[in-house]
């Protein structure tokens, strides 16, 4: 019986209890959300990890991608990146490897990361040049057996959605790696996408291993000009139908979204995705709010991430400064993780159900700032080491900082308050 089946029988399994405790939510309420499919807990039946939930009434989560490419395939470096991302607060890791020994790296990440791990099985099938139905399902099952907790499957890229793309051409076409592999397979063979055509079999495998499906946005827009077209929405209609079928089968499913979207279209896009998928947990890659900032795309993605989170996105995929340019370094991964966590937290400050808890964190920082309590500020900082390093980089350790020094507004205002209180006979403070 899957977690969803158990929740539907009114039970509260231990993993649900654990997530409820972590989120400060009533376990029975969380169990109902899992039963309805609006929250998922990605955890393979074979893995013993701290469970983590994604979806309604939960904090916005952050995924970090790592993985080799065919140009750079040092598995130890990728493991280091994964561990650095977890250390920096990533909630999940996705291994997107396409170079070297994929099985070795996947197993090593599963053994060391300690958080839910996701993969994209079509990459393995493509690398092994086994892109037929058997090769695709073998890759999926092998990864599920290894203990992978969630998989991206580009099931929405089918003949129908590609027809919409043909009739409404884009500047950048298809920019998803899995989407383009699937598109080429359909063009070469004339066959339907096997993951779509044999979706019931895919659900059987997912059910057996308690594998959470992340229904990939293979037709996500790759530039602002392509942001809101028919192909994208056609894919969401297909994904919505496939979410329904996953729920009937008792399989947890979330949905992935774009991509590159101008700021004023993000809310509509998120709400449409939520509507079409009956409030399935929404996992976004960005959205990047402009195309013109290579080197800063962790920032363009974070801007979009805040707006998307405010509109209902549940899960943000970290973007690094290397996006569109190079395989990220470990330092890029750390930077991308923190910047995406900031976006997730900024969204949480506005989200019903989580904003009260999120605001306590900011209140802790504000209280420490008002007292010029530097240790308190470091403790409340999202990246304490970075805050401490900048504060001390000139060797100065005065009560105020070097920005305004003797004209420190906080100190002057505090002194003014104390004088005022003294005149009125009130205690200082």
For ligand SF4, the closer of residues 72 and 409 by Cβ is 409
Radius of gyration of the chain (CA): 23
For ligand SF4, the closer of residues 208 and 373 by Cβ is 373
Task: Choose the stretch contacting ligand SF4; rule: CB under 6 A; options: 50-58, 185-193, 387-395, 397-405.
Answer: 397-405
- Determine if 413 is a binding residue for ligand SF4 (CB under 6 A): no
Task: Choose the stretch contacting ligand SF4; rule: CB under 6 A; options: 65-73, 209-217, 260-268, 403-411.
Answer: 403-411
Q: Which of 262, 408, 414, 418 lies at the binding interface for ligand SF4 (CB under 6 A)?
A: 408
Cα–Cα distance for residue pair 256/244, rounded to 1 Å = 15
The angle formed by the CA atoms of residues 376, 369 and 417, to the nearest 5 degrees, is 125
- Determine if 390 is a binding residue for ligand SF4 (CB under 6 A): no
Q: Which of residues 2-21 bind ligand SF4 (CB under 6 A)?
A: none
Phi, psi for residue 22 in degrees, rounded to 5: -60, -35
Q: Tokens 């309420």 map to which residue?
A: 29
Task: Choose the stretch contacting ligand SF4; rule: CB under 6 A; options: 128-136, 298-306, 405-413, 418-426.
Answer: 405-413
Phi, psi for residue 217 in degrees, rounded to 5: -95, 80
CA 198 to chain centre: 27
The angle formed by the CA atoms of residues 246, 114 and 66, to the nearest 5 degrees, is 75
Given 3-state DSSP classes, what are the helix, strand and coil percentages for the chain, each rounded to the nearest 5? 55, 10, 40
For ligand SF4, the closer of residues 46 and 386 by Cβ is 386
- Determine if 409 is a binding residue for ligand SF4 (CB under 6 A): yes
Q: Which of 127, 223, 382, 401 lies at the binding interface for ligand SF4 (CB under 6 A)?
A: 401
Element containing residue 317 per DSSP (H, E): strand 315-317
Cα–Cα distance for residue pair 206/116, rounded to 1 Å = 15
212 forms bridges with which residues in the sheet?
A: 150
Task: Choose the stretch contacting ligand SF4; rule: CB under 6 A; options: 28-36, 144-152, 381-389, 395-403.
Answer: 395-403
Task: Choose the stretch contacting ligand SF4; rule: CB under 6 A; options: 24-32, 105-113, 133-141, 406-414.
Answer: 406-414
Cα–Cα distance for residue pair 17/29, rounded to 1 Å = 10
Q: Which of 404, 416, 419, 428 lies at the binding interface for ligand SF4 (CB under 6 A)?
A: 404
Smallest separation, CB 366 to ligand SF4 (Å): 12
Q: Closest Cα partner for 218 from 287, 143, 153, 315?
A: 153
Q: Is the peptide bond before 259 cis (omega within 30 degrees of 0)?
A: yes
For ligand SF4, the closer of residues 393 and 423 by Cβ is 393
Task: Choose the stretch contacting ligand SF4; rule: CB under 6 A; options: 182-190, 205-213, 302-310, 404-412.
Answer: 404-412
Q: Please state whether beta strands 39-40 and 54-55 pair in parallel, antiparallel, or not at all (unpaired).
A: antiparallel
Q: Which of 71, 292, 360, 403 lies at the binding interface for ligand SF4 (CB under 6 A)?
A: 403
Largest Cα–Cα distance of the chain, in whole Å?
87
For ligand SF4, the closer of residues 360 and 403 by Cβ is 403
Q: Which of residues 196-255 bind ligand SF4 (CB under 6 A)?
A: none
The set of residues, in sequence order, having a beta carbon less than 8 Å from that of 256 and lying 6+ positions away, is: 152, 214, 215, 216, 217, 220, 282, 283, 284, 285
For ligand SF4, the closer of residues 71 and 407 by Cβ is 407
Chain contacts with ligand SF4 (rule: CB under 6 A): 400-401, 403-404, 408-410
């Amino acid at each position: 019986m899957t977690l969803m089946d158990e929740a539907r029988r009114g039970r509260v399994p231990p993993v649900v209890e654990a997530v409820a405790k972590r989120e400060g939510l009533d376990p029975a309420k969380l169990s109902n959300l899992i039963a309805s499919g609006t929250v998922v807990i990605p955890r393979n039946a074979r893995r013993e990890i701290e469970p983590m939930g994604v979806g309604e009434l939960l904090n916005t989560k952050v995924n970090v991608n790592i993985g080799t490419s065919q140009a750079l395939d040092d598995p130890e470096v990728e493991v280091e990146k994964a561990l650095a991302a977890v250390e920096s607060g990533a909630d999940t890791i996705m291994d997107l490897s396409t170079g070297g020994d994929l099985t070795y790296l996947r197993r090593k990440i599963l053994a060391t990361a300690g958080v839910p791990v996701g993969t994209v099985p079509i990459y393995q099938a493509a690398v092994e040049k086994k892109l037929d139905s058997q090769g695709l399902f073998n890759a999926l099952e092998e990864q599920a057996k290894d203990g992978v907790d969630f998989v991206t499957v580009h099931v929405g890229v089918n003949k129908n959605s590609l027809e919409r793309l043909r009739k409404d051409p884009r500047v950048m076409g298809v920019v998803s790696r899995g989407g383009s592999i699937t598109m080429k397979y359909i063009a070469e063979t004339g066959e339907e996408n096997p993951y779509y055509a044999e979706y019931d079999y895919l659900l059987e495998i997912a059910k057996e291993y308690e594998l959470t499906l992340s229904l990939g946005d293979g037709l996500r827009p790759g530039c602002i000009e392509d942001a809101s077209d028919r192909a994208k929405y056609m894919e969401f209609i297909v994904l919505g139908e496939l979410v329904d079928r996953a729920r009937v089968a008792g399989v947890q499913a979330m949905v992935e979204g774009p991509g590159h979207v101008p700021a004023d279209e993000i809310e509509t896009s998120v709400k449409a995705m939520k509507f079409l998928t009956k409030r399935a947990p929404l996992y976004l890659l960005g959205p990047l709010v402009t195309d013109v900032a290579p080197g800063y795309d962790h920032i363009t993605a974070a801007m979009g991430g805040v707006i998307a989170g405010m509109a209902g996105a549940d899960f943000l995929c970290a973007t690094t400064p290397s996006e569109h340019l190079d395989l990220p370094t470990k330092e890029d991964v750390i930077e991308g993780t923190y910047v995406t966590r900031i976006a997730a937290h900024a969204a949480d400050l506005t989200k019903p159900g989580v904003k009260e808890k999120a605001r306590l964190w900011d209140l802790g920082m504000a209280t420490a700032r008002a007292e010029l309590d530097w240790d308190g500020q470091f403790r409340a900082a999202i990246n304490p080491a970075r805050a401490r390093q900048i504060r001390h980089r000139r060797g100065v350790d005065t009560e105020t900082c070097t920005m305004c020094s003797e004209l420190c507004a906080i100190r002057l205002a505090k002194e003014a308050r104390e004088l005022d209180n003294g005149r009125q006979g009130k205690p200082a403070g």
